[in-house]
Chains A and B, each alone.
Chain A
Amino acid sequence: AQKVTQAQTEISVVEKEDVTLDCVYETRDTTYYLFWYKQPPSGELVFLIRRNSFDEQNEISGRYSWNFQKSTSSFNFTITASQVVDSAVYFCALSEGGRNTDKLIFGTGTRLQVFP
């Protein structure tokens, strides 16, 4: 069964703190894709990153970094020096390649609040 677990429901930090959002996934496929999306109060889901199952290299984009570990089925997201504008709900998602559908299976999201 495919499943994405985001155990942290809500995280509060003060500006400039680093914060890590956890994501654990389950899949039986060997080919799959992992995603992170940001959902600000406006409601639109903003794409952040896509990773395929064969690429375990960590990725850094500005203040954002992602740690993909197949051994623990995790795809964690770290924001360095958080800012108030980072306040949003963050979703981790999984899609399985090689199937008839490439639907995204989302976790329940982690609400991040960054206080000034």
Chain B
Amino acid sequence: EAGVAQSPRYKIIEKRQSVAFWCNPISGHATLYWYQQILGQGPKLLIQFQNNGVVDDSQLPKDRFSAERLKGVDSTLKIQPAKLEDSAVYLCASSLNRNTEAFFGQGTRLTVV
């Protein structure tokens, strides 16, 4: 079974530029998550989708971050404009349904200079 796919793996941008990350969850998984992991810390949830609806985006900085889940499958996370403090690994995860184990992709390492 294919895992969660994310691209790109690495991205370096200048502050105030925009960037987008893509995630393809495991086939059939209804729940999709985006987490932000700052170096030396545990991941923190940015947004959770159930199919194509948003369940929780309480920790998403909505003035600069946006996310969508197209047709309840793939998802994109965008940052516009980026700040230095956005440098982190962005992890996408999916689960069969709510309150089941989540499977993570390899993440996108973003460096903002």
Contacts and interface: CB of A to CB of B under 8 A. Distances in A.
Contacts of B98: 102
B99 A33 contact: yes
A43 B42 contact: no
A107 B55 contact: no
What's the dominant secondary structure at chain A's contact region?
A: loop
Contacts of B56: 100-101, 103
Interface in B93-113: 93, 98-107, 109
Given A43-B107, A44-B104, A45-B91, A103 B42 contact: no
Interface residues of A, number: 24
A35 interface: yes
Given A44-B105, A44-B107, A104 B99 contact: no
Return the 10 tightest CB-CB contacts between A and B, nearest first: A106-B42, A101-B56, A45-B104, A103-B45, A44-B106, A102-B99, A43-B107, A50-B101, A47-B101, A102-B98
Interface of B: 3, 31, 33, 35, 40-45, 48, 55-56, 58, 89, 91, 93, 98-107, 109
Given A50-B100, A100-B55, 6 more contacts: A37-B104, A46-B104, A97-B99, A101-B56, A102-B99, A103-B45
